[in-house]
Amino acid sequence: MRIATWNVNSIRTRVGRVVDWLVREDVDVLAMQEIKCRPEQFPAEAFERAGYRLELHGLNQWNGVAFASRHEMTEVSRSFAGMPGFGKPVKGQEAMQGVGANGLPLEARALGVTVGDLRLWSLYVPNGRALGDPHLDYKLAWLEALRRDAEAWLAEDPDLPLALMGDWNIAPLDADMGDPGFVVGQSTHVSPEERSMFASFAPIVEDVVRPIVPEGYTFWDYKAGRFPKNQGMRIDFIMGSRAFAEAVTGASIAREERTGDAPSDHVPVVCDIDPALLGSTFEDEFDRPMVF
C-alpha cells in the first residue's frame, strides 16, 4: 500500500505528469495540495481512466486540496473542527465557503478521508508570508488548532492509524533549509515560533519519512536557479500516529519530479504501508486472502 503527498502547484497544468507518476510508481493514495481550481475545473477524467477515485476541495484559484485513491474513500471532511479562517468577516455570499472557528472565511487547505482503517489528511498549511505579517499569526493559529483536534482524535482512539500529510511550510531542522533567502530571525519557515509549533506535534505524530530518508529537500523555488544549485527546503511531510508509523515499511522523496518539462516546485513524498501491520479490517479488505 503506497501513500504519497505532493504539492502539485496547479493540477490543470500538471495533470499528465501527476497521473503518469501515479501509475509508474504504483501509488494507491495521493494527497495533493495547491490544485488551484474548483472541483468542476479539476481534470478528473485522466485520473479516472487510470483507476483513481477523487475527493476534491477547491474554492477558487488559490490553495485547494484533493485525494486520488484506488480504494474507496469515506468520512470526507473539508475542514477540521477548530480550523480558523482568514480575511474579512464572513457575510452574504462569502458565507458559502464556510466559516472558521474564528468567524472568518475558511480556505481550502484541509481534506480528510478514511481509506480502510487509515485516517488520512491532505494539508496545505498557510504560508506565513513574513515575520510580523498577520498571515504568520494565522499560520500558527491554524497549526495549533490542527494539533488540538488531532490530539482529540487520538485521545478517543489511541490505535488510530492517522497521517497528517502535506505541505507544512516549515523547515523543522537547520539541515532542512538550503535556500539562502531564508534566515533564522528574518524569515518564515525557520522561525523559532514555527519550529516550536512543528515540534509540539511530536507527542501525537512523527515524521515517518525522515528515519528512512534522512537527507534531502522536497521544494526548490523556481527563482534564482534554486534547483540546479540544490538550494531547496524540506517542508513536505507525512506525519503518522504510532499505529500508522508502525506499519511503515519504506519511504522515498521523488526528487526526479523536479526535473524535465514543467515540474511543480515541490516533489512527491512517499511511504509504504504493510496492511498486515494494521488492524484486521484493513487486512481483510485489501489483502483479499484466499477463501477455501
Partner DNA sequence: ATGCCCGTGCTTCACGGA
Give the residue numbers of the binding site for Mg(2+).
7, 34, 167, 169, 265-266
Tell me which of 51, 181, 203, 211 binds DNA, using CB under 7 A: 181
Rounded distance between C-alpha atoms, residue 120 and residue 240, angstroms: 9
**222 catalytic, yes or no?**
no
Pick the closest to residue 76 from 62, 61, 60, 65 (CA basis).
Answer: 65
Cβ-count burial 219-231 (b if 16+ within 10 Å, e if not): bbeeeeebbeeeb
What's CA 148's distance to the chain center, in Å?
18
Q: Is 221 one of the binding residues for DNA (CB under 7 A)?
A: yes
| Residues contacting 241, CB < 8 A, separation 6+ | 154, 160, 161, 162, 163, 204, 205
Active-site residue (options: 28, 52, 57, 124): 124
Nearer residue to DNA within complex by CB, 97 or 127: 127
- Residues 90-119 binding DNA (CB under 7 A) are none
Q: Which is nearer to DNA, 154 or 209 (CB)?
A: 209
The answer to whether 266 is a known catalytic residue is yes
Question: Could you tell me how many residues make up the chain?
Answer: 292
Query: Which residues in the 51-80 window bind DNA by CB under 7 A?
Result: 61-63
Nearer to DNA, 122 or 188 (CB): 188
| Closer to DNA by Cβ: residue 73 or 170 | 170
Q: Are 219 and 233 in contact (CB under 8 A)?
A: yes
Among 219, 237, 244, 282, binds DNA (CB under 7 A): 219
Size of the site for DNA (CB under 7 A): 32
Q: H or E stretch including 134?
A: helix 134-156
The active-site residue, picked from 28, 167, 179, 236, is: 167
- Applying CB under 7 A, does 194 fall inside the site for DNA? no
Choose which of 28, 34, 194, 207 interacts with DNA (CB under 7 A): 34
Q: Amino acid letter at 63?
A: N
Please tell me the distance from the alpha carbon of residue 87 to that of residue 106, in angstroms, as a whole number. Answer: 9
Side-by-side strand order, sheet with 65-69: 53-57, 65-69, 29-33, 2-7, 269-273, 248-253
Catalytic positions: 124, 167, 266
Residues making contact with DNA (CB under 7 A) = 7, 9-10, 12-13, 34, 36-37, 41, 61-63, 126-127, 129-130, 135, 167, 169, 181, 188-189, 219, 221-224, 233, 235, 262, 265-266
